[in-house]
Amino acid sequence: MKKTRISLLFFLLASVNTAFPQTEDITKQFNEAYRAFQSLNQEGKPEESLEFAKTALDLAQSLFDEKSETMAALSYNYALNLMDAGQQRESAREFSKTVEIYTQVFGRDSDSLASVYFDEGRANAGLNARKSTRSFQRGINIIGDIYGTSSLNFADINLQAGIILSEEANLAIAERFFERALNIYENEFGTDNLYTALANYHLGKYHFMNANVSISDTFLSEAITGLESLQSEDDVGQALLVAARGLFGQLNEVKAVRDEYLREVARNNEEVARINTEMRRSSQPSRPSSIAQPSQSQQ
């Protein structure tokens, strides 16, 4: 999922002091670097644009206040660009800086900061599950405070976080995120809705990946029933229906593999118990045939 870059057109030169030739030169370099970054990024070339994004960010430090919206936007753009270029670790480090800037500029309870936390969670998803979960949860908490924990905004961010955490790290907390979203979608739209079906599908997929066959069956069945009742020709709905049916069709195979695994575990446990019993029996000391009598001198 790519995020739209924050446009800096209305920031450029707005707060730059051009009274000195040196400042004018830096301003010119900054504008050239940012325009090159923006052009390459729009062409879908994040790797090529990365150099210019970094140059623009470095030059901006001598032109703008470090707590300005401009610096916040530049840091955010650079962190996103690193992620698009596949440099997750560097992106995660940059997002930690972006969080600090956004906190200072927009405050701790802004939806702008929530968006940064969410992307920080994305950057850390394949690197550090604990940090990723923490970032997602912070973003979710902010959205809950702003829009309410029964809002569609709250459902959407929970669903998106759950998808990332389940697919990147198969974390158990993803189930809780999915369930929050499902409850809100069901209350808002009922069962015959694309969003409700999407949440049911991802819960079914999560339990499928963890071989919880009966639970997966329930959620996938709900997703399929809801999508079939919509009779939608929409590409998204059709793709989701095909995916749900595909997983549902594999449940018997998963059950067979799981049952065979459990039988093998049971056989191994029985064998270990038998070996332990034999070892205990063989290690018991034999009783002496007679007890020595004390000598006459000891009596």
Segment (H or E) for 282:
helix 251-283
Find tokens 């729009």 and name the residue.
Answer: 42
Length of the chain as a residue count: 299
pLDDT digits over 40-55, tens only?
Answer: 988 999 899 999 999 9
d(CA 59, CA 65): 12
pLDDT digits over 137-157, tens only?
Answer: 999 999 999 999 999 999 999
- Residue 3's region, left for phi above 0, alpha for psi from -120 to 50, else beta, is beta
- The pLDDT value recorded for residue 117 is 97
Contacts of 121 (CB under 8 A, 6+ apart): 132, 133, 134, 135, 136, 139, 161, 164
pLDDT digits over 172-211, tens only?
Answer: 889 999 999 999 999 999 998 999 999 999 999 999 988 8
Let me know: does 11 contact 56? Beta carbons within 8 Å: no
d(CA 138, CA 118): 8
- Residue 258's region, left for phi above 0, alpha for psi from -120 to 50, else beta, is alpha
- The alpha carbon dihedral of 254, 260, 262, 268 has a sign of negative
- The pLDDT value recorded for residue 277 is 77
When pLDDT is cut at 50, 70 and 90, the band that residue 14 belongs to is very low
Q: How large is the C-alpha radius of gyration of the chain?
A: 30
d(CA 143, CA 111): 6
In sequence order, which ranges of 2-68 are alpha helices (DSSP H)? 21-42, 46-60
pLDDT digits over 243-275, tens only?
Answer: 999 999 998 888 777 676 667 777 777 777 777
When pLDDT is cut at 50, 70 and 90, the band that residue 116 belongs to is very high
Model pTM score = 0.77
Is the confidence at residue 8, as pLDDT, over 70?
Answer: no
Beta strands in 50-145 (DSSP E): none
Contacts of 150 (CB under 8 A, 6+ apart): 184, 187
